[in-house]
Structure 1
C-alpha cells in the first residue's frame, strides 16, 4: 500500500520530502473548508504581536517593508519589548535599529545585507552563522519557536491560492511552523511554481498592499578584472551540459555573461539574478541534461530587476524549492557536471576561504557557498567543479591572496573543501595538493606586484619554498 505523504506534495521525490517533515509542522497547500483570513489594516493585523515574540520575516525582494514599519510603531505604542526578528537578507528601511525602537525589537540575522551590516558590527543586531540548507531546521526542530510569520505574497487566485513568490528558501519552513501568519498581498509579487503555494485559509490575517513595489537589485558596471575572471571561468571550467550554481555578485554575473556560446547548460542553485535571462533567450540554458528536475531551472529565491520578476510570473520553467532540499549536497551531487561559482573576500596560502567577514567586521553570512562547493566536489559523475573566484588584489593594491587571514576573520570554506581558485591571472587547482604546492599554485595567480612578498611569507610560514612538486 502506498505510503501517504505528510507535506510537500509538490516535491520531486517522496524520500526527499519526508526529510522536511517534523511533528509540529502543518501543511499549508490544502484548503481548510470554512476558514477565511481576516482582512485588516496593518495596525489591526499586528495587534496579536506581544512582548517576547519570535517573528519570521520574509526576505530579499519579498521583504514586507510596510509590515515591518508597522511593527515598530506597534511595539512603541504598546510598550512592547524583547521582540526578535528571524530572517535572511532583508531589503529596504530597517527602522528597528533606530534608538527609538532598538530596545524593543532586535534582529537575529541569518544572512546579513548592507542595510543591517553597520548595526551588526555595532552590536544592535545579532549575527548568526548557519549553512543555508540547515536554516529551515532551526524552525522545523524547534531551535527557534516562531510565534508569528510576516509574509509578502501574491494576491489569491480564483481558487484561493497565494504564492510565496520570489523567496521560498526558508519561508516555507517558517510558515509551516509558525503559530500565526500575517501576509501582505500584492499583484506585483509574481506567482511562482514549486514549493511556494499557500492557500489563503492558512493565513490568519491578510493586509492588502496592492501596488507596493518589490525590492530591486542595484548593480554597478563590471570592472575589466571581473569580466576577465568571468571569461576564464566560462572558457576553462564550464563544460557544455554543466549544471550551474552561482552566488550573487559581479563575478558570478561576469561568468554568466561569458557563457552565451555554451550548449545545454542547466541551473540548480540557491538563487539567481538577471544573468540567467539572456542564456534562456539564446537557448544556451536548456536544463536538458539535468538529473534533478530536468527541463526546469531550480532555485530557492531570486533577486534582480523588474524584467526578472516579470519573467517569473506564472512561468513553469522555474521551480522554487525549499532551501533544505535545493541546497542539500546529497541532492546537488546527483546532477551532471555541477559547477559551483562563488566569491570570496580573501584566501590564505593554504586555501582557507574567508567570505562572510573582513577581519573582525561581519559582512554577510555563510549562505549556500559550502552547500554547493561540497555538492560539486562529491558529484556522482566525478566531473563537478567547485570554484572560488576573486580579484587578485583590492582597488588599493592589497593582495586578496594572503599569508594568513586577517585577525578575527571567519573561515567559511575550509582548505579541505577548496578545489579551484580563479583570479584574473589564471586558475589554481588545490585539491590533493600539500601546503607547499598550494602556496605555489596560489602565488602564481596572485597580482604580480605581490608575488615576491607572498613567496617570502610562504617560506616564513611553511619553512620550505613553495614549489609544484
Structure 2
C-alpha cells in the first residue's frame, strides 16, 4: 500500500487562528506535531488547545505562549500546570467518562485533532496505540485530522483502530514514546499502604488503579492472590509481573472475561512492548470503560485512588491545592461509585498521612477554594500507612474518630481538639 506522507511543518499549516485543536494525550502525545505547531506561534492567534494529560516536561515552554495559544485543559498535567493556573489557560471540571459528550454534542466543537498512531497495516488500518480514551471521540468529531505515524507506537486491540482514509494528513516519524517508571517512586510509606490495601482485596477481584507510586506498591503486594482481573481507566508496568505469574487471569470477570480492559497506558518501553499486538489487552473508549454500569457488572470491583487531602467528614480533594489547579476530576468518581455498586466491591482512597513537608493530609476542613472530587457519601475505605478507616454507615463524629486513628501520630492531638470544637460546641 502506498501512503503519502507530509512533513510536520506542512501538516500544521492547516491550523488557523481562532481554531480549537484536540491534542492526543498521555504516552501518545504527538510531540513532533506540537513542536512544529509552536514554531508557527508568530503567525497564529487565539488557538485553543484541548487535552487531558500530556507528557513532555518542556513541551509547552515556548516564549509568549499566551500570545498565540490558550490551554483549555480537561485534566491538568505537570507540563501545563503553570499555564493553566495563569492567564494563558484554564481547567474544565468534568468526569473523564463524560468528556466524549463534550465532543459529540459540539459543546467543545473540534476544528482539528492532532493524533499519534501506529503504522498502517496492509489494509490501511492504524491504531491509536497507548491512548484510546477520549481520542476516539475526538477523531470522530474533528473536522480535520492530522496524524503522527510512528513505527515505535504499539498497535493495540480494541476501539482505537482507525483507517488512513479517516485521516487528512499523515506525518511519518520514528521516535521513542515518553516513559514514566512509577515503580521507582515507591518508598516504604507507599509499600505499607500497599500492604493494607492488598489485605482488603479478595481473590477473583477486578481492579482499577490510579496513577502513581501507591498503585504500583499495591500491585507488588498481590503476588499471593489468585485470579484477579483488570478493568481500569489506565495501567502501568506494575500489572506485567502479575500477568506473567498467573495472578491476573481475568477468568472471573463478567464483562470482557479473559481480557485486561483499559482506556490508556503509561509506563516504560517494557509496557509498550507488552501491549503491542496483545489480544489479552483491549483499549476501549472511556465513556464505556468508566461507565458505572459496566464497572459494577464485574463482581468484587475494587477501585484504589489517591487524594491531596481529606477532611474529617470524608470529603476528598484530589484535584487542587486550595485554588491552585493541580490535576483534575478524572475518573476517580466513576470508579469509586462503580466499585461501591459492584457485588462485593470496595471503593478505596489511599494516601500518605502527611505531605512531603510533614503537613497532615487528614484535615478538619479542606483548604479554601479546594475542589471536592469525591463526596463523603461516596467514600467507604480510607487507607494510610497507619491503617484502614471504614467510613460507610458511620456518622460524622464516628468518621472523624476513625480518620484520626489513621492520621500521623504527631497530628492526632490537634485533630482531636478540632473534633471537640466542631461537635461538642454545637
Map of 2:84 onto structure 1: 120
Equivalent pair of 1:72/1:95 in contact (CA under 8 Å): no
**1:321 aligned residue:** 284
- Alignment of 1:332 with 2:311, yes or no, is no
Name stretches of at least 5 consecutive residues in structure 1 with no aligned partner.
1-34
For 1:342, the equivalent position in structure 2 comes to 305
Q: CA deviation at 1:74?
A: 2.4
Provide the residue aligned with 1:27 in structure 2: none
Partners in 2 of 1:130 and 1:66 — Cα distance?
28
Any conservation in 2 of the 1:96–1:105 contact (CA below 8 Å)?
no
Measure, in 2, the Cα distance between the counterparts of 1:463 and 1:245: 39
Give the TM-score normalised by the residue count of structure 2: 0.97
Once the two structures are TM-superposed, the CA of residue 113 in structure 1 deviates from its matched residue by 1.1
Query: What is residue 385 of structure 1 aligned with on the other side?
Result: 346
Q: Which residue of 1 aligns with 2:244?
A: 281
How far has the Cα of 1:397 moved from its partner?
A: 2.4
Q: Residue 29 of structure 2 aligns with which residue?
A: 63
Alignment match of 2:412 (pick from 451, 459, 462): 451
Alpha-carbon shift at residue 75 of structure 1 (Å): 3.7
Is 2:76 the partner of 1:136? no
Aligned-residue RMSD, C-alpha: 1.5
> 1: distance between equivalents of 2:38 and 2:356?
39
Matched, 1:252 2:218: no
User: Is 1:297 the equivalent of 2:254?
Assistant: no
- On the 8 A contact 1:243/1:266 being kept in 2, the answer is yes
Moved over 4 A (4+): 35-38, 93-97
**Structure 1 residue aligned with 2:142:** 178
CA deviation profile, 1:153-181 (whole Å, cap 9, x unmatched): 00001110000000000000000011111
| Separation in structure 2 between the aligned mates of residue 138 and residue 345 of structure 1, nearest angstrom | 27
**Residue 309 (structure 2) pairs with residue 365 (structure 1):** no
Q: CA deviation at 1:107?
A: 1.1
Question: Which residue pairs with 1:47 in the alignment?
Answer: 13
Please give the residue correspondences for 1:145-294 in structure 2 after superposition, counting only pairs within 5 Å.
Answer: 145-209=109-173, 211-219=174-182, 220-235=184-199, 237-294=200-257
In 1, the alpha carbon distance for the partners of 2:91 and 2:348 equals 26
Q: Tell me the distance in 1 between the aligned counterparts of 2:359 and 2:140.
A: 47
> Counterpart in 2 of 1:23?
none
Match of 2:50 in 1: 86
2:65 counterpart of 1:104: no
On the 8 A contact 1:428/1:441 being kept in 2, the answer is yes
Q: Is the 8 A contact 1:65 1:93 kept in 2?
A: no
1:301-312 alignment, distance < 5 Å: 301-312=264-275
Equivalent position of 2:361 in the other structure: 400
Does structure 1 retain, via aligned residues, the 8 Å contact 2:71–2:83? no
Which secondary structure does the structure 1 equivalent of 2:258 belong to? coil
Out of 394, 399, 404, which is 1:433 matched to?
Answer: 394
CA distance 1:349–1:257, shift in 2 (3 Å): same
What is the distance in 2 between the residues matched to 1:37 and 1:167?
23
More deviation, 98-107/434-443: 98-107
Give matches, 1:9-48, under 5 Å: 38-48=4-14
Asked if the contact 1:298/1:321 (under 8 Å) is kept, the reply is yes
Q: CA deviation at 1:223?
A: 1.5
> Are the counterparts in 2 of residues 97 and 124 from structure 1 also a CA contact under 8 Å?
no
Q: Which runs of 5+ in 2 are unaligned?
A: none
1-structure distance, mates of 2:414, 2:161: 56
Task: Quote the Cα distance in structure 1 between the aligned partners of 2:356 and 2:148.
Answer: 42
Following superposition, the deviation at residue 102 of structure 1 comes to 2.0
CA distance in 1, matches of 2:98, 2:424: 40
2:39 matches 1:73: yes
Q: Distance in 2 between matches of 1:40 and 1:261?
A: 51
Distance 1:88 1:37 in 2: 30
Q: How many residues align?
A: 425
